[in-house]
Homo-oligomer: A and B are copies of this chain.
């Protein structure tokens, strides 16, 4: 804003809100005004919730999930099949797979992908932790669910190489046509993979 029209505390709030993904400078102003109007129902509780999450959040030392307990809710869940580990790049992938609700397994969050260009090596990722978990024994299957990008696939190969020789089944997500997807809009690689992995009906 050209001239100051409100107090510095509110301008500071708008500035910080604009850094939240999904909000820009304009929607940050709208968000701030909405909060001020819902002072008791939203603004106060949100301040406390962010503060509390900030104070309590930790990374699970076992799987890399974000939680407020260590081991995390997923690692502590006896109703999950803890002999199956789904390996993901990021916590957001863990949450996405959980929304799908297709598996009832444990997870391992790598925290990124190998990227020599950006200086990300194996030691920067939570790969050793995965190998240790498998080496400890009791793991039946490792499902590699990294993104289907070059970096993701490089990381997958690195992990597969380092799990070689261990008593564990290694699988990866199927490639194919997205449900609801139109063939005309899909790339050749996906179409070829979908043809190769065709299933009997």
Contact = CB atoms under 8 A, between A and B. Distances in A.
Interface of A: 1-10, 12-13, 16-17, 19-23, 27, 29-36, 38-39, 42-54, 56-57, 65-69, 72-74, 77, 90-92, 94-95, 98-99, 101
A9 B53 contact: yes
A98 B16 contact: no
A74 B5 contact: yes
A180 to B, nearest CB: 17
Contacts of A66: 6, 10, 33, 36
Nearest to A19: B42
B57 A10 contact: yes
23 contacts: A1-B95, A1-B98, A2-B98, A3-B101, A4-B73, A5-B65, A5-B94, A5-B98, A7-B68, A7-B69, A9-B52, A10-B53, A10-B57, A12-B49, A12-B53, A21-B27, A21-B34, A22-B22, A22-B23, A22-B27, A35-B54, A43-B53, A43-B54
The main secondary structure of chain A at its interface with chain B is helix
Contacts of A2: 98-99, 101
B44 A54 contact: yes
Contacts of A90: 33
B16 A49 contact: yes
A120 to B, nearest CB: 15
A47 B54 CA distance: 8
Lowest 6 A-B CB distances belong to which pairs?
A: A7-B68, A22-B27, A47-B51, A47-B50, A2-B101, A13-B53
A42 B73 CA distance: 25
A192 to B, nearest CB: 31
